[in-house]
Chain A
Amino acid sequence: MRRTSKDKFLYFLYLHRTGLTVCALALALAIYPPLWGNPYLLGITNQIALYAIVVLGLNLFIGYAGQISLGHAAFFALGAYGSALLSGEAGVTPWLALALAVLATAAVALLVGIPTLRLHGHYLAMATLGFNLVIYLVLLQWDQMTGGPSGYAGIRPLALGSFAFASDLRLHYLVWGVTLLCLTLALNLVRSGVGRGLAAVAGDEVAAAACGVDTRAAKVKVFVLSAAFAALAGGLYAHGFGFVSPETFGIFASVDFVAMVVVGGLGSVWGSLFGVMLLTCLPQWIDRFESYKEIIHGAILVGVLMFLPQGLVTGLVDLARVRLARWKARHA
Chain B
Amino acid sequence: MLELRGVCRSFGGLTALNEVSFSVATGAVTALIGPNGAGKTTLINCTTGSDRPDAGKVLLGGREITGLPAHRVAELGVARTFQNLRLFPRLSVLDNVLCGLTVVAGRSLLGALLRPPSLRNRERRLRLQAMAALDRFGLTALSDWPVGALAYGDRKRVELARAVVSEPGLLLLDEPVAGLNATETAAVGAEIRRLRAQSYTVLLVEHDMELVMSVADRVVVLDGGRCIAQGTPDEVRRNPLVLEAYLGKTSLVA
Contact = CB atoms under 8 A, between A and B. Distances in A.
A206 B51 CA distance: 10
B48 to A, nearest CB: 6
Interface stretch (A34-42, A209-217, A279-287): A209-217
Nearest to A182: B113
Nearest to A221: B109
A2 interface: no
Given A192-B106, A203-B88, A329-B141, A211 B112 contact: no
A161 interface: no
A295 to B, nearest CB: 30
Interface in B70-107: 70-71, 74-75, 79-80, 82, 86-92, 95, 98-107
Interface string A178-196: 0000000100110111111
B173 to A, nearest CB: 13
B155 interface: no
A21 to B, nearest CB: 15
A310 interface: yes
A197 B102 CA distance: 7
Contacts of A195: 112
A200 interface: yes
B95 A196 contact: yes
A213 B109 contact: no
Interface stretch (A44-52, A130-138, A141-149, A317-325): A317-325
Nearest to A190: B112
Interface stretch (B3-11, B57-65, B143-151, B192-200): B143-151
B185 interface: no
A212 B91 contact: no
B90 A310 contact: yes
Given A200-B88, A318-B146, A322-B146, A192 B102 contact: no
A221 B108 CA distance: 10
B90 A202 contact: yes
Contacts of A215: 71
Given A203-B87, A204-B88, A208-B99, A191 B74 contact: no
Interface residues of A, number: 38
Interface centre among B48, B106, B115, B144 (most CB of A within 10 A): B115
A158 B123 CA distance: 38
Given A188-B115, A203-B91, A310-B90, A325 B142 contact: yes
A318 B82 contact: no
A113 interface: no
B119 A211 contact: no
Nearest to A19: B115
Contacts of B106: 192-194
Interface residues of B, number: 46
Contacts of B107: 193-194, 197, 214
B91 A192 contact: no
A212 B103 CA distance: 6
Contacts of A221: 109
A104 interface: no
B11 to A, nearest CB: 17
Nearest to B126: A193
A194 B126 CA distance: 13
B52 interface: no
A322 B99 CA distance: 21
Contacts of A329: 141-142
Given A193-B107, A194-B108, A199-B95, A204 B86 contact: yes
A285 B228 CA distance: 74
A192 B110 CA distance: 11
Contact of B50 (A192, A209, A322): A209
B139 to A, nearest CB: 12
Contacts of B50: 206, 209-210
A204 B87 CA distance: 7
Interface in A202-232: 202-204, 206-215, 221-222, 225
27 contacts: A188-B112, A189-B113, A192-B111, A192-B123, A193-B104, A193-B106, A194-B107, A194-B108, A195-B112, A196-B99, A196-B102, A197-B102, A199-B91, A200-B102, A204-B88, A206-B86, A207-B86, A209-B69, A210-B48, A211-B102, A213-B71, A215-B71, A222-B109, A321-B144, A322-B145, A325-B149, A328-B141
Interface pairs A-B: 3 shortest CB-CB: A193-B105, A203-B88, A212-B74
Interface of A: 185, 188-189, 191-197, 199-200, 202-204, 206-215, 221-222, 225, 267, 310, 318, 321-322, 324-325, 328-329, 332
Given A211-B100, A213-B99, 7 more contacts: A193-B101, A203-B87, A204-B88, A210-B79, A215-B71, A318-B90, A322-B146
